């Protein structure tokens, strides 16, 4: 159904307002994580928590969104897309409001990461369906383009906007503004007309549970390891076993002619399989970089949120520019070739950043490597979605897009968690070894200092650590600060190996793409890259 009669010329004022409101909702979803990334040190100082705790919350939010997006797409079909859209906005607003009022990390984990992540997984599929149902024919291209542009702009300016608000006002103000925007969007919900679901109402409960346990077990295992918890191997093993069982269950349900959580026949398309793999590896690259780089700027260089945002701008702005240019001017170039170039540039850029980490005292030295990385990621953004969905039939393209989005969100959460976990493991090992081999620190104090550094120093800049070790002899204080600096930089270098490895695996995957023939999309793919 449509808000305007079929064949009508330009949209009504109401439909133009609806497009703007949908774009505003998407802007909030994308800018939210950017705000969190550049505010890590401010949140740590304000709540008295740890950087690893904030990192875990960021990874958990992406994981919840990934684990539930396929399930909540079906929930939206059953309860109504408009209702799912409203519930998603309310959940996201709850998370943003919790950030505004939070006094502990637990509030962030429960309300921002879990409730907000569930909101995102409801909101994205519902938004896509509502655009498709509220606009008809060629008029659909305008809202899809506007919402897509809103997401791209939010990704580009998010670090700058978040840095400015955090530095000159407060990180809480940024999240409060999100609540205000969502309230405005909800106040105009009457403009949205619901879209009835006419497909099967069967629910694959077993498949849904296995998918959540599978993705959740793998990433939660890494997060528990990151926080020094127990049963890490058990959690990860449960996750892997659940994913294997999910694959078998989907095949069994398909053979029984019952509706599965997702159609396993999608993976019979080699373009779809390699494309989903590329999407996941691209997001692992991005997630790993967006854990290590903000910490480098805020902890090693001791930048405030605005300086950190400005330092990340070469990556985010070139990513936006490359995606726009490549999307419009790819011409006769093969999508697989552009994807190969994207992974190559992203790998080169990350590879150039790694040796700079312990050697530079300004973000200016990283402008070129980050710009190269951003160009590579932008090329991937411009091509991967269309490449992945091109061979999929019209009646299954929406489902395929959901799988693609879930793979991307899972990759992001995995990259965030794995880079953070490896960073802390390297940090703990480095602190212990350097402290025990020090000739300055008395032997009686080495074990005590090593234990303290294993737990606390990873969240501290040199200045903050100096405040924590007052009372020690000057030479001991200087040695501990030097250990902190060396171990932190080494751990950041190790963490950056995660996005580098993901980029190289993506490059290898792109050569398989090149061996496949190009595909002409079987249906319109407008709007299927939302989220």
- The most confident of 20-34, 195-209, 383-397, by mean pLDDT: 20-34
For tokens 């009457």, the residue is: 190
Question: Please, what is the Cα angle at 291 between 378 and 312, to 5 degrees?
Answer: 50
Taking every pair of Cα atoms in the chain, the longest distance, rounded to a whole number of angstroms, is 83
The Cα–Cα gap between 22 and 150 comes to: 9
| Tokens found for residue 127 | 């938004």
Question: Please, what is the Cα angle at 508 between 503 and 509, to 5 degrees?
Answer: 95
pLDDT at residue 468, rounded to an integer: 65
The Cα–Cα gap between 447 and 298 comes to: 28
Residue 488 CA to chain centroid, in angstroms?
24
H-assigned helices in 330-442? 335-356, 367-389, 397-436
Lowest mean pLDDT among 359-363, 365-369, 431-435: 431-435
The Cα–Cα gap between 131 and 386 comes to: 19
| Tokens found for residue 365 | 């030295």
For tokens 């903050």, the residue is: 464
The Cα–Cα gap between 470 and 64 comes to: 41
| Tokens found for residue 427 | 């940090």
Question: Which candidate, 328, 289, 271, 9, places its Cα nearest to that of 159?
Answer: 289
pLDDT at residue 343, rounded to an integer: 95
Lowest mean pLDDT among 81-95, 113-127, 471-485: 471-485
Please say if the pLDDT value at position 52 is more than 80.
no
The answer to whether 181 and 29 are in contact (CB under 8 A) is no
Per-residue pLDDT tens digits for 148-179: 777 778 877 888 888 888 888 888 998 999 99
Per-residue pLDDT tens digits for 315-330: 988 988 888 787 777 6
Per-residue pLDDT tens digits for 267-316: 888 888 999 999 999 989 988 898 888 888 887 888 888 888 888 889 98
Residues 6 or more apart whose CB falls under 8 angstroms from that of 307 comprise: 163, 167, 297, 301, 363
pLDDT at residue 457, rounded to an integer: 46
Question: Please, what is the Cα angle at 299 between 294 and 305, to 5 degrees?
Answer: 55
Work out whether the CA dihedral 82, 88, 92, 97 comes out positive or negative.
positive
pLDDT at residue 7, rounded to an integer: 42
């Amino acid at each position: 159904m449509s808000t305007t009669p079929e064949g009508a010329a330009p949209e009504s004022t109401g439909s133009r307002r609806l497009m703007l409101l949908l774009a505003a909702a998407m802007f909030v979803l994308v800018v939210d994580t950017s705000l969190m990334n550049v505010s890590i040190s401010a949140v740590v100082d304000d709540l008295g928590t740890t950087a690893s705790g904030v990192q875990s919350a960021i990874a958990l939010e992406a994981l919840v969104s990934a684990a539930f997006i396929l399930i909540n797409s079906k929930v939206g079909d059953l309860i109504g897309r408009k209702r799912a859209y409203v519930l998603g906005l309310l959940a996201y607003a709850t998370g943003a409001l919790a950030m505004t009022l939070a006094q502990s990390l637990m509030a962030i984990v429960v309300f921002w990461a879990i409730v907000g992540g569930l909101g995102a997984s409801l909101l994205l599929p519902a938004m896509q369906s509502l655009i498709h149902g509220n606009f008809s024919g060629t008029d659909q291209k305008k809202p899809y383009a506007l919402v897509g542009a809103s997401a791209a702009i939010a990704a580009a300016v998010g670090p700058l906007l978040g840095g400015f608000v955090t530095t000159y006002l407060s990180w809480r103000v940024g999240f409060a503004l999100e609540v205000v925007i969502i309230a405005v969007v909800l106040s105009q919900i009457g403009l949205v007309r619901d879209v009835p679901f006419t497909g099967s109402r069967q629910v694959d409960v077993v498949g849904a549970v296995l998918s959540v346990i599978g993705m959740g077990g793998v990433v939660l295992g890494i997060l528990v390891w990151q926080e020094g918890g127990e049963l890490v191997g058990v959690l990860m093993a449960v996750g892997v076993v659940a994913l294997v069982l999910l694959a078998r269950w989907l095949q069994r349900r398909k053979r029984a002619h019952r509706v599965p959580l997702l159609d396993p026949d999608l993976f019979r398309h080699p373009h779809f399989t390699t494309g989903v793999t590329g999407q996941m590896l691209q997001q692992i690259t991005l997630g790993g970089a967006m854990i290590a780089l903000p910490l480098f700027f805020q902890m090693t260089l001791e930048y405030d949120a605005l300086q950190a945002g400005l330092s990340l701008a070469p990556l985010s702005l070139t990513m936006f520019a490359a995606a726009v240019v490549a999307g419009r001017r790819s011409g006769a170039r093969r999508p697989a070739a552009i994807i190969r170039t994207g992974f190559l540039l992203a790998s080169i850029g990350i590879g150039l950043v790694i040796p700079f980490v312990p050697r530079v005292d300004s973000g200016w030295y990283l402008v070129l490597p980050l710009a190269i990385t951003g160009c590579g990621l932008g090329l991937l953004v411009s091509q991967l979605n269309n490449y992945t969905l091109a061979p999929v039939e019209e009646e299954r393209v929406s489902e395929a897009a959901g799988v693609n989005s879930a793979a991307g969100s899972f990759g992001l959460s995995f990259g965030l968690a794995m880079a953070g976990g490896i960073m802390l493991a390297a940090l703990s090992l480095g602190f212990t070894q350097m402290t025990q081999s020090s000739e300055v620190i008395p032997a009686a104090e080495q074990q005590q200092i090593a234990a303290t550094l294993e737990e606390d120093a990873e969240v501290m800049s040199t200045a903050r650590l100096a405040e924590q070790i007052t009372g020690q002899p000057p030479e001991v204080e200087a040695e501990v600060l030097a250990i902190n600096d060396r171990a932190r930089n080494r751990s950041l270098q190790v963490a950056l190996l995660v996005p580098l490895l993901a980029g190289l695996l993506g490059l290898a995957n792109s050569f398989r793409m090149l061996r496949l023939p190009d595909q002409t999309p079987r249906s319109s793919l407008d709007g299927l890259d939302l989220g």
